[in-house]
Amino acid sequence: MPITNAQIQAAEAIQDAAAHDPSPQVRLVAGPGTGKSRTIEERVRWLLAQHVPATAIAVVSFTRASSSDLRSRIRAYCDTNNQVGANYVRVSTLHSLALSLLSAAGLLLQYPAPPLVLDDWELENVFDAEFGHLQHIGKRRRVAIRRQHEAFWNTGSWGPSNYIPPNPPITPAERASFTAFHGPRTQTYSCVLPGEIVRQCLQHIQAGTLDPVALSHLQHLIVDEYQDLNPIDLQFVDEMITRGVTTFVAGDDDQSIYSFRYGSPAGIQLFTGKYPSAGSRTLSECFRCTPAPIAASGALIGAHAGPNRIPKTIQSLYATAVPPLSGIVHRWRFSSGRDEVRAIATSCQTLLGAGVPPRQILVLLSDSRQLLPLLRQEMDAAAVPFEPPRSETFIDSPVGRFLLAIVRLVCKTEDYVAHRLLLGLRSGVGVATCHLIAQTVVDQALNYRDIFHNPLPLSAFSGRALTALNHARDVCVQIAGWVPADTLALRSAEISTILAASFDGAAVQDWQQYSATLPGDINLEELRDWLWADNDEQQMTVLGDVYARLGQLMPTTAVLPPRIRVMTMHGAKGLSARIVFVPGLEDSILPGPRRSPYPGLVLEAARLLYVSLTRARVACIVSYATRRMVQGHMRNQVASRFAANLSDAFQQRTVGLSAAELQLILSETAQL
């Protein structure tokens, strides 16, 4: 890598100064690729070195997978620096922290076991599906009803900023039907929905019925991705600060892209105004991107900055590296959407042919429904191996989720949601059957987990419900003797047998192909973490931990499938690649009609594009089409309002990368 040791040391000195800030509150503003995670790791090491008890430190991140990844990084960093105690530092999501406080206070007795937070897939395919079946309403309406409740849980208001009400509005009867379904069903499955548990915890704190510091003995709170917190999350952190907890928050207002979860850049922007004694630190030396992507993204965000944007200037360390690298940004304009995706497909084909690793190429979509079908056709025509957005990957298939349910149950037998997945994902079992079983559990005062493990009450279940339940009970019997430390090699044949009985031979083949690169000595707990990861970088962290446990170096063959990654812009958060394509830069797509009436959402769309551009280490190719097929009709398209703010002009193209353009990319990537 051309970045010199002197550059690294200078940048790390700034990170260390931020990590060691003794202020009662600290705000770290960290631009893309500037070392935010390392600063958090050093913060934990420094606190432990100051003899702060490990159990008095809590670190929270945005998702379960990102917190798992951060936990591994903190432990590895402390081990490397000979600092003991990191294994006892709590690293979790804010939801998990709130759950632990409620549990310690005895305020979760309505649930038969510690409840789990449903993820997006489970919300759609379990909770929403059963609610929609009961109320005889379609997917769009049931999601809208649930999202109005999430708006309230996350903000305290039924009509907050960033909430776009459906047409027609949610009626009082629909709201009441949701409430009537939500309570019994979440108690049956021992689960909670995102947002509601932090609100419950906050209500008890504010009512004086829960003392978070006395229960947790917390002294230091570190909050990652602070720009993604919603108003209730922010109030929760405020309550910790009010009670004397030293708080270190890290994030970047320019990367606030979760308004649909009611996150807002205002939280991190206004932090030092709310807490005048807070230390404020900024990281601006970028290790990830070369200068050209930094210049384009900087021009974009500078032209679309909100009134409270935190001033910052990101500098690429590659500009003064040895040798220096300049990076590349291509801005392409095509006559049709077909020409655009064909150029991307042939460019990918050319890059792969020149030896660029497939996973070093990203294609980021702002609207998968509009852009993915044509792109898929052209990638297939060019024989380019690619991995589609997560919703189409193995882990979010019925087989993948069924397998995840098995290893979840091995690791935690009290996982009620995993039992529901084991029941409902088997071929031939539908949402109606699952709803009938759950309703029977409620009506007959049964325990949901018990019906999978204990003798069934006479005449409680019959017909399709009994058949489905018995199949799930059989699986529970088959895995009853498994333990988390069992290796994949030990249980592989049994897993294939269970999948074959529950699905078909194709399911077994899909699983075997998906798991082919996994080491046989990965244990079932590690396999669970692998399957639960948000992205492949987190999967590689899990794999690194596996080989570290085995006392082995990770072999060069231990790689993820050699495919180009095609994903949503939101899904790319936290990732990087040498070459990034961003197609569809048209106003009808980004910001698009949903955002365009709302100035704040337009600014967020600019931030989403900023995040996408800063995934590119060397080359970023942004493009748009002047005509595109939309709902079966060829329509004229207008360049996105953001296209004029990318530091240079768009050029008309008919093909992908030329030989000279390819060579320039290769010459720069060879230096990394």
473 and 412 inside one domain: yes
523 and 645 inside one domain: no
Of 244, 259, 283, which residue is a domain's last?
283
Amino acid identity for residue 233 in this structure: D
Residue 254 lies in a domain: yes
The pLDDT assigned to 62 comes to: 84
Closest CA to 669 of 297, 350, 321, 355: 355
The pLDDT assigned to 557 comes to: 60
398 and 482 inside one domain: yes
Structure tokens at 81: 């620096």
Closest CA to 435 of 401, 390, 468, 472: 468
Closest CA to 308 of 334, 271, 351: 271
Residue position matching structure tokens 């849980």: 153
- ∠ Cα 79 81 87 (to 5°): 30
Query: CB neighbours (10 Å) of residue 16?
Result: 16
DSSP 8-class letter at 218: -
Amino acid identity for residue 651 in this structure: Q
Residue 235 lies in a domain: yes
Residue 113 lies in a domain: no
473 and 422 inside one domain: yes
Structure tokens at 664: 């320039």
Q: What is the CATH number of the domain that holds 41?
A: 3.40.50.300
422 and 540 inside one domain: yes
Task: Give the span between the Cα atoms of 549 and 562, in whole angstroms.
Answer: 25
517 and 438 inside one domain: yes
630 and 571 inside one domain: yes
420 and 535 inside one domain: yes
Cβ neighbours of residue 141 closer than 8 Å, sequence gap 6 or more: 132, 166
Residue 112 lies in a domain: no
Q: Say whether 59 sits in a helix, a strand or coil.
A: strand
The pLDDT assigned to 183 comes to: 96
The pLDDT assigned to 467 comes to: 96
Residue 111 lies in a domain: no
Structure tokens at 42: 């050093």
The pLDDT assigned to 597 comes to: 92
Residue 244 lies in a domain: yes
The pLDDT assigned to 100 comes to: 94
Residue 555 lies in a domain: no
Beta strands in 176-225 (DSSP E): 191-192, 220-223
Q: Which stretches of the chain drop beneath a pLDDT of 70?
A: 391, 556-559
Q: Is 66 exposed, middle or buried (0-12, 13-18, 19+ CB in 10 A)?
A: buried
Residue 114 lies in a domain: no
Helices (H), 444-523: 450-453, 463-478, 488-502, 505-514
Q: Peptide bond preceding 591: is omega within 30 degrees of 0, i.e. cis?
A: yes
416 and 531 inside one domain: yes
346 and 447 inside one domain: no
Cβ atoms of residues 579 and 619 within 8 Å: yes
Question: Domain total for the chain?
Answer: 4
Of 139, 158, 192, which residue is a domain's last?
192
Cβ atoms of residues 31 and 254 within 8 Å: yes
Task: Give the span between the Cα atoms of 205 and 212, in whole angstroms.
Answer: 7
Structure tokens at 206: 């504010």
Of 496, 516, 550, which residue is a domain's last?
550
Task: Give the span between the Cα atoms of 447 and 440, in whole angstroms.
Answer: 10
Task: Give the span between the Cα atoms of 561 and 79, in whole angstroms.
Answer: 30
602 and 640 inside one domain: yes
Calculate the CA dihedral of residues 49, 51, 55, 56 and round it to 10 degrees. Answer: -110
Interval 202-246: pLDDT, tens: 999 999 999 999 999 999 999 999 999 999 999 999 999 999 999
444 and 543 inside one domain: yes
> Which residues constitute the domain of residue 334?
292-385+562-669
The pLDDT assigned to 553 comes to: 86
Cβ atoms of residues 159 and 151 within 8 Å: yes
Task: Give the span between the Cα atoms of 320 and 315, in whole angstroms.
Answer: 10
Query: CB neighbours (10 Å) of residue 512?
Result: 13
